[in-house]
Amino acid sequence: MDTSSRKALEERLSAICEEIRHYPTPIARCDLHLPALIEERTALMARLEALDARGRCSPAAAWANDGGAAA
């Protein structure tokens, strides 16, 4: 994924967080919009985390590459 796509995800996440922060109260139990916003925010955060993790080694791989037990 290129940087413009990542930036678009971050901008959408920021907009959703802002909308959630200013969501009108009181919130009715039957409200469907707020849970949908929270689900979308969770999905965006997971996608961004996956992008971050793609470039990293797992903890076990990092430990082995640093010499592991033989260091």
pLDDT in tens, 7-62: 999 999 999 999 999 999 999 999 999 999 999 999 999 999 988 877 666 667 76
Does the residue 31 lie in any domain? yes
pTM (whole model) above 0.75: no
* The two structure tokens encoding residue 58: 């797992």
Q: Please give the span between the terminal C-alpha atoms of the chain, in angstroms, as a whole number.
A: 36
Does the residue 48 lie in any domain? yes
Domain total of the chain: 1
Residue 36 structural domain: 3-56
CA distance 63 to 24: 48
Does the residue 47 lie in any domain? yes
Does the residue 69 lie in any domain? no
Does the residue 36 lie in any domain? yes
CA distance 42 to 20: 12
Residue 71 DSSP SS3: coil
